[in-house]
Amino acid sequence: MTNYLDALSVLLLVSAFILMGNKRIGSYIKTFQFQSALVALLTGIIGISSFAQDGRIDVLIICAVVIGIKVLFIPYLLKKTYAKVAYRVEKDFFLNIPILVLICCLMVVFSYFSFAETMGINTGTINNQIVNSFSVILIGLLFMISRKKAIGQIVGFLVIENGIFVTALFATHGMPFIVDMGILMDILVAVIIMGIMVFRIDEKFGSINVDNIKDLRG
């Protein structure tokens, strides 16, 4: 089972890299969907094992909710938002992709060394899964600042959230049930609100390029 979790953690990391290499908003959303499917798979595996061990079904319920919210609903919502706003193909990032991807690599190295030095986490295999999921968080942050479109930033936020969710799964095999549910609901509402904001930005600024949004300073 640890083997499968290891492999999934690496696949999650790879999906974050693929996201960083994407150029179009449509493919951001698809990659995010893929990543969420991996998260759901991971939740499912942990859910089944916890069910087999002591008959708890809460992780399995969370898995179902993850599928419903992250794999199906949020990508659908983002696609709908994306279809409605004015679309122009522009250069979307401030560094070119290979450099961004190399920075991602450095961040994986960074998180590896920073966690290798932290005692307490460094016990057994959990450590390495945490390194991978923490790297996903860092890559999500980099993605957020490297993309100029509002939807790109939402996807970045969601990737950070995915990374954190997975870190929670790896580190603790699930937070308390009600906390997990609360987190997922919060994300859902946050994405809906952000989607509405994107419409408003599009309406007021004529594009969803967040570079235009810089009136307020100092």
Partner 1 sequence: MSDMILYFIVQTGFVILAAPLVNGIIKKIKALSQKRTGAPVLQMYYDLFKLFKKTSVVSDVSSWIFRVTPYIVFATAVAAAMIVPVTTLIKPVWNTGDVILLVYILALGRFFMMLAALDTGSTFGGMGASREAMISALIEPSILVSLITVGLIAKSTAVFPIMTFMQTVQNPLIHPVYLMIFCALLIVIIAETSRIPVDDPSTHLELTMVHEAMLLEYSGRSLALMELAAAIKQLVFITLLVNLFLPHDQLIGIHGIAAIGISLLIYLAKVFIAALLIGIVEVNTVKLRLFSIPNLAALSFILSFIGFLQFFAFGG
Partner 2 sequence: MGYVLLTVPLLAVVLFIVLKKKHLQHVISVAASVTMTIAAGFLTWAVLKGGFIEYSAWGGFFRVDALSVIVIDIVVIISLMTSIFSVGYLENEIKHEKLTTDRMRIYYVLMHAFIFTMLLALTVKNIGIMWVAIEATTLASAFLVGFYNGKEAIEAAWKYIMICSVGIAIALLGIIFLQFSSLAVLDSSQFLDWTAMIDHATELQGPTLRLAFIFILVGFGTKAGLAPMHTWLPDAHSQAPSPISTLMSGVLLNGSMYGIIRIVAIVNRSFGNSMFVGRILIAVGILSVVTAAVFIFSQKDYKRLLAYSSIEHMGIIAIAIGFFTPVSLFGGLLHMINHSFTKSMLFLSTGNILQKYNTREISKISGLFKMLPVTGVVFLLGLFAIGGTPPFSVFASEIVVISAIFQEKNFLVGGLLILLLAIIFTGIVVTLFKLFYGTDIPKETPPGELNIPGVIVIVLLLGIITVMGLYIPNELRILIDQAVEIVIGG
- Shorter beta-carbon distance to partner 1: residue 11 or 65: 11
Please give the residue ranges that form the binding site for partner 2 (CB under 8 A).
Answer: 118-121, 137, 141, 144, 150, 153, 157, 160-161, 164, 167-168, 171-172, 175-176, 178-179, 182-183, 185-186, 189-190, 193-194, 197, 200-201, 204-205, 210, 213-216, 218
Q: Residue from 15, 17, 67, 157 that binds partner 1 (CB under 8 A)? A: 17
Q: Residue from 21, 26, 44, 68 that binds partner 1 (CB under 8 A)? A: 21
Question: How many residues line the site for partner 1 (CB under 8 A)?
Answer: 26
Question: In this structure, are residues 6 and 129 in contact, taking their beta carbons and an 8 Å threshold?
Answer: yes
**169 phi, psi to nearest 5 deg:** -65, -45
Residue 137 class from Cβ within 10 Å (0-12 exposed, 13-18 middle, 19+ buried)? Answer: buried
Binding mask 86-125 for partner 1 (x = CB under 8 A): -----------xx--xx-xx--xx--x------------x
Burial letters 68-96, b for 16+ CB under 10 A, else e = ebbbeebbebbbebbeebeeeeeebbeee
Question: How far is it, in rounded angstroms, from Cα 150 to Cα 148?
Answer: 6
Could you tell which of partner 1, partner 2, none binds residue 197, using a CB distance below 5 to 8 A set by kind? partner 2
Question: How far is it, in rounded angstroms, from Cα 164 to Cα 108?
Answer: 15
Question: In this structure, are residues 170 and 47 in contact, taking their beta carbons and an 8 Å threshold?
Answer: no
Single-letter amino acid, residue 73? F
- Shorter beta-carbon distance to partner 1: residue 34 or 73: 34
3-class secondary structure, 98: helix
58 binds partner 1 (CB under 8 A): no
Could you tell which of partner 2, partner 1, none binds residue 58, using a CB distance below 5 to 8 A set by kind? none
Could you tell which of partner 2, partner 1, none binds residue 3, using a CB distance below 5 to 8 A set by kind? partner 1
Minimum distance of partner 1 from residue 97's CB (angstroms): 6
Could you tell which of partner 2, partner 1, none binds residue 98, using a CB distance below 5 to 8 A set by kind? partner 1
Question: How far is it, in rounded angstroms, from Cα 9 to Cα 45?
Answer: 12
3-class secondary structure, 149: strand
Q: How does DSSP classify residue 55?
A: -
Residues that bind partner 1 (CB under 8 A): 3-4, 6-7, 9-11, 13-14, 17-18, 21, 97-98, 101-102, 104-105, 108-109, 112, 125, 127-128, 131-132
